[in-house]
Structure 1
């Protein structure tokens, strides 16, 4: 499944790549070169990051599900304990 970015995010990413090259490497990189580099990263490295994120979410969800019984557990047959007093049966 290829990773696609909406146009607005893609444009921001391209500008960020251009800025990185300018400020960190003191090199100018054109818009087309930055877009090409972004495409390479999305295609080559993106799936690794995506798969790791999915695995992390699965771990967190499994941990939450394991704790679910503690979080939402209700005591059964608790009426008499809540009453605090053992009532005598009516005659």
Structure 2
């Protein structure tokens, strides 16, 4: 499934995430929410929060490569 922010989820992954959100609300807040409410929360997370996690992952990958690029030269013959 494609969203405006280019984060793709399969239907199965989306359904799994909705289930996790519903379980969280039930266990942590003692609130039973439905698929629609959990889906809206998921959309909010994808739209507003996920880009920050993605950007942090990109930055962490960059720093890892930057710090380890010299190791790549050590395998020259």
What interval of TM-score do these two structures reach, taking the shorter chain for normalisation? Answer: 0.7 to 0.9
User: How many residues get paired?
Assistant: 73
TM-score by length of 1: 0.73
Aligned to 1:37: 41
Instruction: Give 1:6 deviation, angstroms.
Output: 1.4
Instruction: Give 1:26 deviation, angstroms.
Output: 0.4
Provide structure 2 residue ranges, at least 5 long, that are not aligned to the other structure: none
> Whose Rg is larger?
1
- The SS at the match of 1:29 is coil
Q: Distance in 2 between matches of 1:66 and 1:45?
A: 34
TM-score by length of 2: 0.85
Instruction: Give 1:64 deviation, angstroms.
Output: 2.2
Aligned to 2:23: 19
CA-atom RMSD in angstroms? 1.4
Moved over 3 A (4+): none
- The structure where helix makes up a greater share of residues is 2
Provide structure 1 residue ranges, at least 5 long, that are not aligned to the other structure: 75-91
Aligned to 2:51: 47
